[in-house]
Amino acid sequence: MITVIIAEDHQALIDGMKSFLKNERDIQIIGHANDGFSLIENARKLKPKVIITDIRMPKCDGILATKTIKAELPDTKIIAFSMFDHDDAISQMKEAGASGYIMKNSSLQTVLDAIRAVSQGYSYFVNEAENEYEVSKNELFFSSREKEILQLIAEGKSSQEIAEILFIEKSTVDSHRKNMSKKIKTIGKNDLTKFALERKYDYL
């Protein structure tokens, strides 16, 4: 289970993320904070696997909070959450120990991908200017569901067949395919199938 604390001074954003993430079986929101000091206190008490924190918060900003938490809880992964795509802010959060940086106008799916990525040891930094993201490690990050779908694509299954096998909607399969295509930066219609075939045995 990926335990998460969200730190944000706008309660509506916290409520929106909590509502979106509550149905994810591998993620549990165990706390939230509206300022940096409360975040540090909650992190010490609850020891989450992942923290999503705003950079600009009352009492103590996200950069100082990240430094403090990483010094005490080095295994906790921290994702910066900001309205601003400033290289200086990103570099400061990296130096403080953050594993990711996402924009407040990012999709909730991006938030979900970032949580899963950093929990597995990846870094996840969104670039608003290019509307792209960078996932850093030795290989691309795919969620467990995406790995299942990739394997079935490699076996020649259609989206409808995959949906029936996994007991999900075909539209959900199509959405996953679209997200995976973005991750591997495909161009042609059959590029994802080619990629799946090349990686057929990687996700068994």
pLDDT tens across 41-52, in order?
A: 999 999 999 999
Confidence of residue 133 (pLDDT cuts 50, 70, 90): very low
Contact present, 154 and 196 (Cβ < 8 Å): yes
Q: Are residue 131 and residue 149 in the same domain, yes or no?
A: no
Residues 180 and 98 in one domain: no
Number of structural domains the chain divides into: 2
> Edge-to-edge strand order for the sheet containing 132-136?
27-33, 2-7, 50-54, 77-82, 100-103, 123-127, 132-136
Same structural domain for residues 183 and 127?
no
Token pair listed for 58: 């009352």
Closest CA to 4 of 111, 137, 125: 111
CATH code of the domain in which 73 resides: 3.40.50.2300
**pLDDT score, position 137:** 46
Enclosing domain of residue 182? 144-198
* pLDDT attached to residue 84: 66
105 and 14 co-located in one domain: yes
Q: Of 136, 165, 180, which residue sits at a domain end?
A: 136
List b or e across 99-130, with b for residues whose CB sees 16 or more CB atoms inside 10 angstroms: bbbbbeebeeebbbbbbbbbbeebbbbbebee
Q: What is the spatial distance between Cα 160 and Cα 153, in angstroms, rounded to a whole number? A: 11
Bridge partners, residue 113, by sequence = none
pLDDT at 139 over 70: no
Q: Do residue 49 and residue 102 come from a single domain?
A: yes
Residues 119 and 191 placed together within one structural domain of the fold: no
Residue 157 has pLDDT above 80, yes or no: yes
pLDDT of residue 87: 65
The pLDDT, as a whole number, for residue 130 is: 40
Mean pLDDT of 20-44: 92
pLDDT at residue 36, as a whole number: 92
